[in-house]
Amino acid sequence: MNFLSAVVTRKTVNGIVAEIEGTNGQSLEADITQSVIEEGQTVTLGIRPEHLHMREGGFTSTVELTENLGGVAYLYTRLAGGQEVVIERRGERALHARESVQVWADSKDVMVFSKQGKRLR
C-alpha cells in the first residue's frame, strides 16, 4: 500500500480533493462521505499499487527501479517531494530509471486516513 501525505483542498459532492505533498499542487480525488473532514486538513491517502495507472493529467513521479516478475512489473518511483510510490503494471512496455511518469487513481480506490491513522474511508 502506498501512503501519501496530502492536504484537503476542497470538498466535492462525492468526497474530497487532496493535494499530494511534494507535487507542486497536483491532487487526487477520494470518495468519502465523512463530514468530519475539513478543507486544509492533513490526511494520508492510501492507494494499492494495482490501483495506480499511468495517465496524462495525473501526478508526476520519477522511476527509480523496475522489478520485472514475468507477467507483472513493479515500478518504484519517487515524487519530487521525496514520497515513494509503488506502481504495479501488467503487460505494458518496460520503463527505465529516471523516466518521468504521470500517475492516476480512480477516486473509489483511494483510501483516506486521519493524521492519527484512523481510516476515514
The dihedral region occupied by 29, where left means phi > 0, alpha psi between -120 and 50, and beta the remainder, is beta
Distance CA 73, CA 89 (A): 5
Q: Which set of grid coordinates corresponds to residue 107?
A: 477516486
Q: Are 9 and 19 in contact (CB under 8 A)?
A: yes
**Residue 91: CB atoms within 10 Å:** 7
Q: Which residues contact 99 (CB under 8 A, 6 or more apart)?
A: 62, 63
Domain ranges of the chain: 2-113
Query: pLDDT tens digit string along 16-73?
Result: 999 999 888 889 999 987 677 889 999 999 999 999 998 888 889 999 999 988 889 9
CA-CA-CA-CA dihedral for 22, 94, 45, 26, to nearest 10? 40
Output the pTM of the full model.
Answer: 0.90
Superfamily name with CATH number, domain 2-113: Nucleic acid-binding proteins (2.40.50.140)
Provide the β-strand partners of residue 14: none
Share of the chain above pLDDT 90, in %: 67
Is pLDDT above 80 for 94? no
- Report pLDDT for 108: 95
